Structure 1
Amino acid sequence: GTVAGHAGLPEWLHTLASDGAVRGVCKKGPAEDWFRPQDLDVVQALARLQPLGRLAALRDALATVQTAVLARKRERRQYSFTDMVTGLHEAIHDDHGGPALADALHTTWPWALVDEFQDTDPLQYAILRRIYAERGHGGLLMIGDPKQAIYGFRGGDVFAYLQAARDADARYHLDTNFRSTKPVLDAVEAVFRAGGDEAFVIDAIRFQRVKAGRRDGDRTLRREGRDLPAMTLWRLDDELPKKDAEPRLIDATVHQIHALLDGATEVATDDGDSRALAPADIAVLVNTNAQAAEMQRALSRRGIAAVCLHQQSVFASEEAGHVLGLLQAAASPADEDLLRAALATPLLGYRLGDLIRLAGDEVEWRGVTARFQQLHERWRRAGVLAMLQPLLQAEAPRLLALEDGERRMTNYLQLAELLQQASGEQFGLGGLVDWLNRMIADPAADNTDDERQLRLESDDALVRIATVHKVKGLQYGVVFLPFAPVLGAGGSADKPPFLYHDDDGQACLDFVAADDEAAARAIAEDRAEAVRLLYVALTRAEQACYLPWGPINTAQNGALAWLLHQADGVSAEERAGKAPWMTGDSTGKRLAELAERAPGAIELAPLPES
């Protein structure tokens, strides 16, 4: 067959063209002597042609989707932030009107200051350069730190920052850190110095030593008369698969947090004041929202209240489905199946035994039916919020007694408010049910609206849990990084399509990859971003941080492995399968070397056991 004018060739041609793949197909050694399709020029030629059909189809699909999206936006009169950037970029680079537009913008705003410049992209920089470059007056001030460029997944391009740095007339560096104590700064420096000059993989990004802006002894952590170490490295000696390691790391983190909050750990200042370490002083930084939720549940089981800081839509929560079930039953109180489904949700709390009993008790069933009819009438007369609020108040004692009751109640109340807002734009009870159904089916579509993101529970005296991407710019007294070993170890950077930058800093998306260079560049840039994520995570700590290291499966491809084990053969441009150096002895040796780089600031300890 053909795909967009190119031959639609089967993917198994790549198998026939590869020595290793052919050996895998040949189960018996003698067959390798005569079955050698990889030696045929025609097989190699067809293998090189095979990806072109898919690439042509993707190009046609992209053009079709772009045309359809543009038409749909025009119909709905929608204009996104990306549209604003691309539209201005096209206009300001137009041969006819572009110079006049650039002059007008410069006249209106002769000076511009752009903060967090490392998170911009090439189009944004090209616009700014067009407005401010080679002017006789005014100027462009760009403030940023390429070591904190961690938003590549949403369009941020650190290479735009690096190009701007090369173009700038002058560069200045901030040499003082007012967030962290000197021991924390020494410990963080030791971690990245272990990676040498290539620690951040990209040559133009280097670690720079900074001075501590805080006074010695200002807000130190003390326990039983002893200052706690700035960085505690938990040593893992056993080789573990990732699925077995994560529960142990969670348990160790919970155990250590529980110990720190027993009242014996003090935050002392240099003026002689002190107070007990509080839950709000502690943050647990994780790699995914799923890890955040699991950590919150584990802390709750030990009686430690915690709050997750993330941007998930409330419509993606389980509680949205519970409220939908309730609304469907209240809108159709004569439908017994809908009533039973609503009763079985945690919102109303009926168990299987309750439903079985209800099926045999006609009097009780009539009472349930009457309750839903009353909900229907209240909703119809006074609105959805007037219907939901009394119900939530009645169910609150049971809900708040649950392990995650405060989280659930917060979600239910937020959903009630959003439903009330939406009711003014929907027709009737059924229209509001349909609206909530659509929001649940595609929660990401409305996740840009702050009102629709998950709200926090009351955050007094709560441990904070967040992904590393969420905490840039924030700071916490004590930071835990339980999943640091696998930070950057996942993903598919070694598989096409390969996303990387060429020698001129231009972004490339390579679906064909005629040689290994594209894969090597893509892997190196993925590892570079992982190292930057680790840098952001470690530099959130004011007084102390805790993280583990050891032979966890897949950790050989993480940021810590790159920084600590280059002497063992870790490469920035390759993803390793089974790494022979990944043993307890090897990782323990590198941890000991790291501790020697910052004596008094880094302490090695076994993984806490609960």
Structure 2
Amino acid sequence: METVREFDILDSPLEGTNLIEAGAGTGKTYAITGLFLRLILEKNFSASQILVVTFTEAATAELKERIRVKLREAADVFSTGRDGDSFLNGLVKKMSDPAVALTRLHEALRIFDQAGIFTIHGFCRKTLHENAFESGSLFDTELVTDQENLKREITEDFWRRRFYRESSLFVNYAMKNQVSPESLLSLFSNRIPGTDVKVLPDPEIPGAIAEEQQFRAAFDAVRDSWLSEKADIEDILRTHRGLNRNRYRKNSISTWIREMDRLIASGGENPVLFEAFKKFCTDELEKSTKKGHAAPGHPFFYLCDVLKEKTADLQKIYEKRLLGLKADLFHYLQDELARRKRKRNIQFFDDLLLNLHRALERPGGGALARNIRKTYRAALIDEFQDTDPVQYAILKKIFMTQDRPLFLIGDPKQAIYGFRGADIFAYMDASAHVESRYTLKENWRSEPGLITAVNTVFDRPKRPFLYEEIVFHRAAPAVEKAIHEQLKIQGSEDDPAMQVWVLDAAGIAGPQKAINKGEARDRISRAVAGEISRLISLGGDGKARIGDRPLRENDIAVLVRENREARMVQRALSDLGIPSVLYTTDSLFASHEALEMESVLSALARPDNEQLLRNALATDMIGLSGEQIDQLQENGQEWERWSVRFLEYHRAWTANGFMHMFRTLMLQEQILSRLMRFVDGERRSTNVLHLAEVLHRVAVEKTLAMTGLVKWLSDKRREDSVTDEEHQLRLESDENAVRIVTIHRSKGLEYPVVFCPFAWAGSRSRDKKGPF
């Protein structure tokens, strides 16, 4: 393996292909800004000739601003001669002609709006547009941010084309196993793989005619025997002296008889037997017969043996058919998605990657790569651990050449976007082919005690991250960061920076028994909430401090893996009266407020419908209790008043549009003030206002009337996944509140006090010799 050296931001060579492994808090962004600055000064590249690629739009905007600020700081140091940080001071000494350096910095700032700082999709889009002839791209292709509706349309077409022609037996089996257009679509909920992805082995779809005929014949025989011999069969099961009554309890037999009746009544159209069907088969009867007795005998039991066997044979065939149909859908979705996008002249973000990749791989791709290299003389790739194979292939084809400096910056230990297609093996492949490997060792984020603790934990295992290619590099506290605001409780600095809590499962579930995950999560949530309550109380008394100031709620963060864990922690905190705020990727349309909004808008769209009006009045937004609604209906005059109010809102919606009507509704019905009375009132109010904004924009853009807007909201609520960042829950005010953050949202952030209550929950390790 290539020797890993510590990266020297001032003197490491600006040439060849380089990998910089940058752990959390080690100054990755600072290193990128430093590299950009050196390329401007030492290589005389213009700001528009340096490509910088990062992962998200937010990260792109932040990185762009950080680089701009660094250029200004450098220009100030070179022009005034005043001290900057150690890096800028080193650059001043390194540059032989300060006047030339200052000219280059001013020119970089002048044209900085042309700097090539993009997301990977932004880079691909710009490249395809500027090289339309070489890449074969159309100029006027529309970029769409959501292709879920198109995928759903294709999946439903596939369902109709394939399942409508299948036998009723197979369709019933599929539906019994929760196979539906929705479940098939969920197989591709995150992305559609490129054309280079294959299903291995590509399964065949076997015929099932013979097995279906055998199943039907066996079922008919069981049915005929049951209908004519039911009383005798039931009598044998109830009265046979040799049967073990622990296995054949008389109460259970009554249930089994009813289940057999239901099976016979199904007419043999459902090839799934009920669980207790085996009780009518000879092998189960023999196993349940006492010693010294003969097993109960009846021809029906042997017929059940045959039906059980033929059902198992048919199910094996059906499982292969389902697998084959899923593979067929994979290919159909690939082909149809591309065809329909071409027909509609639209493309999705992943199409930008695939189109550029295809253009580079086809004949003439070399010329396209040379054109891109003429535009960009160096490339800095941020968050490289989140690269997928297509992205890596693009970068490799364009920039992994001797004459272009390429820096890949990332941390494989932070590769958390596999659900979006990121592939750690692409990172490992790249790391094996770079010319130089570096690491950033100084941690600027954490206090020294925590750095030492993390080093101790991950130094012990031989392969702490499973793969030999992913090595743990010890971090060290940053020398230049002199002040660490440490948590002090009652004046003591002796409390460990990292504490590991162990749940006493044996004390809860009993010796040698495991506690179930649900109970573990509940107990841990309440324990964390209790400790947070203690710390906040100490902070209020001035006995818990961060540096010189009292500990407050917003100094504390709880990191969780899933949104449901976040809600569990929030409930535990709420029970103790502790305010908290969620930083999650939950969908706005999965919220309780979306359900209530649909109820209210449905009633406004049809104010003459009493059931819809009752549903709306029962929402927290309107605030009537069940008892109040009953009293209203008994008092015709009061009920009529509500009907008239909703009719007036209906007319306002018709005359002035959704937003004007909804503002009037919120004001007159005091919706926000009512919601703010709840413990999570700020969250609820934020969701209602966000929903109103989204609905207003959709109504305008899609020119939707009342019924259309209610249907749009209903459809969005029934979608399983969040595909648009705009439709993720917005953050309510986080002032003086504990932050509850999913791991994906916490990346790059820092908090004085952090709890990680569910880090254990995702582990698949069964290594009893592991450290935990």
- TM-score using structure 2 length: 0.56
- Residue 256 of structure 1 corresponds to 531
CA contact (8 A) 1:330 1:373 kept: yes
State the aligned residue count.
459
3-state DSSP class of the match of 2:752?
strand
Given the alignment, which residue of 440, 452, 462 partners 2:737? Answer: 462
Provide, for residues 380-401 of structure 1, a one-character-per-residue CA deviation record: whole Å limited to 9, x for no partner: 2222122222332412232111
- Describe how 1:29-68 pairs up with structure 2 within 5 A: 56-68=324-336
Distance in 1 (alpha carbons) for counterparts of 2:350 and 2:726: 22
Match of 2:585 among 311, 319, 344: 311
In structure 2, what is the Cα distance between the partners aligned to 1:55 and 1:352?
A: 49
Matches within 5 A, 1:432-447: 432-442=709-719, 444=721, 447=722
Higher helix share: 2
The alpha-carbon deviation at position 439 of structure 1 amounts to 1.9
* Aligned residue type for 2:396: R
1:223 Cα shift?
1.1
Contact 2:599 2:616 in 1 (8 A): yes
352, 365, 370: which is aligned to 2:626?
352
Give 1:429's aligned residue.
Answer: 706
What displacement does 1:7 show?
Answer: 6.0
Contact 1:379–1:387 at 8 Å: present in 2 too?
yes
Q: How big is the shift at 1:349?
A: 1.5
Partner of 2:491: 225
Deviations 1:479-499 (A, max 9, x none): 11112222334xxxxxxxxxx
1:477-488 paired onto structure 2 within 5 Å: 477-488=752-763
CA shift, 1:213, in A, is 1.1
Change (3 A) 1:174 1:405: same
Find the aligned partners of 2:317 and 2:652 in 1 and give their Cα distance.
Answer: 67
CA distance in 2 between partners of 1:54 and 1:388 (Å) = 48
Aligned counterparts of 2:387 and 2:316: Cα–Cα separation in 1? 36
2:517 is matched with: 242
Tell me the SS of whatever aligns to 1:283.
Answer: strand
Structure 2 unpaired stretches of 5+: 1-166, 171-202, 212-282, 289-314, 507-514
CA deviation string 1:530-587 (max 9, x = no partner): xxxxxxxxxxxxxxxxxxxxxxxxxxx4xxx75xx426xxxxxxxxxxxxxxxxxxxx
Structure 2 CA distance for partners of 1:401 and 1:423, relative to 1, 3 Å? same
Match of 2:394 in 1: 127
Instruction: Please point out which of 408, 418, 433 is paired with 1:142.
Output: 408
d(CA) in 2 for partners of 1:104, 1:224 = 64
Please state how far the C-alpha of 1:125 moved relative to its aligned partner: 1.1
> What is the CA distance between 1:4 and its match in structure 2?
4.1
Report whether the alignment pairs 1:151 with 2:417. Answer: yes
CA deviation after TM superposition for structure 1 residue 303, in Å:
1.4
Partners in 1 of 2:445 and 2:374 — Cα distance?
38
Aligned counterpart, 2:459: 193
Q: Is the 8 A contact 1:426 1:435 kept in 2?
A: no
Q: 2:471 aligns with which of 197, 202, 206?
A: 206
How big is the shift at 1:50? 10
Equivalent AA in structure 2 for residue 70 of structure 1 = A
The SS at the match of 2:558 is: strand
Task: Kindly provide the amino acid, as one letter, of the partner of residue 373 in structure 1.
Answer: L
Give the Å deviation of 1:164. Answer: 0.9
- The amino acid of 1:85's aligned partner reads L
The answer to whether the Cα contact below 8 Å between 2:444 and 2:478 also exists between their aligned partners in 1 is yes
Cα 1:123/1:222, change in 2 over 3 Å: same
Q: 2:4 — aligned with what?
A: none
Identity of aligned residues (%): 38
For the residue of structure 2 that corresponds to 1:235, the secondary structure is coil
Contact 2:594 2:717 in 1 (8 A): yes
Counterpart residue number, 1:378: 652
Once the two structures are TM-superposed, the CA of residue 55 in structure 1 deviates from its matched residue by 5.2
Q: How far apart, in 1, do the equivalents of 2:344 and 2:620 lie? A: 38
- CA shift for structure 1 position 187: 1.2
1:328 is aligned to 2:602:
yes
Inter-partner Cα distance in structure 2 for 1:99 and 1:238: 62
- Provide, for residues 174-220 of structure 1, a one-character-per-residue CA deviation record: whole Å limited to 9, x for no partner: 010001011101111222223x2211111111211111116566201
Task: Choose which of 363, 378, 402 in structure 1 pairs with 2:678.
Answer: 402
Matched-pair contact (CA < 8 Å) for 1:301–1:403:
no
Q: Supply the AA of the counterpart residue of 1:258.
A: S
Segment of structure 1 superposing worse, 163-172 or 465-474: 465-474
Find the aligned partners of 1:401 and 1:325 in 2 and give their Cα distance: 21
Which amino acid counterpart does residue 351 of structure 2 have in structure 1?
D
Provide the C-alpha distance between the structure 1 equivalents of 2:425 and 2:516, rounded to a whole number of angstroms: 35
What letter is aligned with 1:66? Q
Offset at residue 469 of structure 1 (A):
2.4
2:586 & 2:543 partners in 1: Cα distance?
Answer: 34
CA shift in 2, pair 1:50/1:207, >3 Å: farther
Partner of 1:71: 339
Farther off after superposition, 279-288 or 59-68: 59-68
* AA of the residue aligned to 2:449: P
Show CA shifts across 1:391-416 (max 9, x none): 32412232111121111111111111
Q: Give the letter aligned to residue 110 of structure 1.
A: R
Q: How does 1:451-600 map to 2 (within 5 A)?
A: 451-489=726-764, 557=765, 562=767, 565-566=768-769
Alignment check: 8 A CA contact 1:197 1:206 kept? no
Amino acid at match of 1:466: V
Q: 2:360 aligns to what? A: 92
Relative contact order, higher structure (CA 8 A, sep 6+): 1
Q: Which runs of 5+ in 1 are unaligned?
A: 11-24, 30-46, 490-556, 568-589, 592-610
Taking only aligned residues, the RMSD between alpha carbons, in angstroms, comes to 2.8
Quick one: distance in 1 between partners of 2:519 and 2:678?
28
8 Å contact 2:604–2:650 — kept in the other structure? yes
When the two structures are superposed, what TM-score results if normalisation uses the length of structure 1? 0.70
CA distance in structure 2 between the partners assigned to 1:54 and 1:382 by the alignment:
52
Task: Return the offset for 1:326.
Answer: 1.0
SS state at 2:666 partner: helix
> Cα offset for 1:110?
1.9
Shift of residue 6 of structure 1? 4.0
> For residue 103 of structure 1, what is the aligned residue in structure 2?
370
Shift of 1:284: 0.6
Aligned partner of 1:281 in structure 2 is 555
Cα 1:431–1:208 shift into 2, 3 Å: same
> Which of the two has higher C-alpha Rg?
2
CA distance in 1 between counterparts of 2:421 and 2:735 reads 35
Match of 2:59 in 1: none
Give the counterpart of 1:113 among 375, 380, 399. 380
Distance 1:438 1:207 in 2: 47
Q: 1:401 to 1:49 in 2, by over 3 A?
A: closer
Letter in 2 for 1:261: I
Higher alpha-carbon deviation: 380-389 or 475-484: 380-389
- Tell me the secondary structure at the aligned position of residue 703 of structure 2: coil
Shift of the 335–304 alpha-carbon distance from structure 1 to 2, 3 Å rule, reads: same
Amino acid at match of 1:140: L
**Contact map agreement 1:379 1:386 (CA 8 A) in 2:** yes
List per-residue Cα deviations over 1:420-471 (Å, max 9, x = no partner).
1122122322222222222222263xx3433322111111111111222221
Q: Is the 8 A contact 1:4 1:60 kept in 2?
A: no
